[in-house]
Amino acid sequence: MTLGSALIVGVGPGLGLALARTFADAGHPVALFARDAARLAGYVSQLDQSGGIARAYPADAADPVSLRGALQTAVDDLGAPDALVYNAAVRRADTPTDGDDQGWADALAVDVLGAKIAAETVLPALREGRGSLLFTGGGLGLQPSPQYASLSVGKAGLRAYVQALHAQLAGTGVHVTSITITGKIGGGEERFDPAVLAAAYLDLHHQPDTDWRDELLRD
Ligand SMILES: NC(=O)c1ccc[n+]([C@@H]2O[C@H](COP(=O)([O-])OP(=O)(O)OC[C@H]3O[C@@H](n4cnc5c(N)ncnc54)[C@H](OP(=O)(O)O)[C@@H]3O)[C@@H](O)[C@H]2O)c1
């Protein structure tokens, strides 16, 4: 059976690339989204060499027009999606009282608003109206840090958004879950290894609907 595409928003050398590789190895045509076009092209050639179907779509998740347009182009090119993974985030050191209005607006545009825009763009395009909308959360959303204040707020906001979307789409055949990762990705612990984490996302995509929850806590 031909599989639908997998759209991975926020692909860098860590979890994003592992997600793209995992879904490509499982037979999904994969679309890779990030701002750095040259780096994305390198990832696509790596995936091509391993026999996958992959394409790069440079886009800025902080810019709704850019993100919507790139997602729509990918759907037009690769066919109706089975899965969206929203993995983009802004990791910046900042504090609750840093006076940086624009920095916070830019960060939350990626951490929260981009996720909403990606979900509402992909939802009506899902193959036969079914599929998975998966979102990468972080432990900061559960235990905020004054040194990473905007990312703490962003991950908490993303988690709340996913819970609301999960509830809204209950019973529709669309699996909505956040994966809350509480440790350092690629820091040496197996459960936080990018490939191990990416396999957990694919497992969530394959999970029977009786097991669907709004969050997978990886701690
Ligand atoms: N690293 C950790 O230890 C850790 C721990 C817990 C949770 N997480 C979460 O896990 C996810 C992946 O983290 P990772 O470190 O493994 O990163 P990654 O998947 O290697 O890369 C993520 C990519 O997102 C892209 N991105 C950032 N802002 C973007 C924007 N405005 N538009 C489009 N793409 C954008 C960046 O590429 P461009 O610069 O090319 O746009 C970046 O390379 C993130 O959501 C992160 O918050 C990470």
Residue-wise pLDDT tens digits, 74-119: 999 999 999 999 999 999 999 999 999 999 999 999 999 999 999 9
167 vs 169: CA distance, rounded Å = 6
41 CA from centroid of ligand 1 (Å): 17
The average confidence (pLDDT) of the chain is: 98
The pTM of the full predicted model, rounded to 2 decimals, is 0.99
11 CA from centroid of ligand 1 (Å): 7
54 CA from centroid of ligand 1 (Å): 19
Name all domains of the chain by residue range, CATH numbers in brackets.
5-218 (3.40.50.720)
Decide whether any atom of ligand 1 lies within 6 Å of the 189 Cβ.
no
**167 close to 176: Cβ distance less than 8 angstroms:** no
39 vs 187: CA distance, rounded Å = 22
Give residues with Cβ within 8 angstroms of 168, minimum separation 6: none
Helices 194-206 and 15-25: crossing angle, nearest 10°?
50
Candidates 122, 159, 126, 123; CA nearest to 142 is 159
Candidates 51, 50, 57, 70; CA nearest to 16 is 57
Residue-wise pLDDT tens digits, 149-204: 999 999 999 999 999 999 999 999 999 999 999 999 999 999 999 999 999 999 99
Residue whose CA lies nearest to ligand 1 atom number 11: 87
> Which pLDDT band holds residue 1 (cuts at 50, 70, 90)?
low
Residue-wise pLDDT tens digits, 120-148: 999 999 999 999 999 999 999 999 999 99
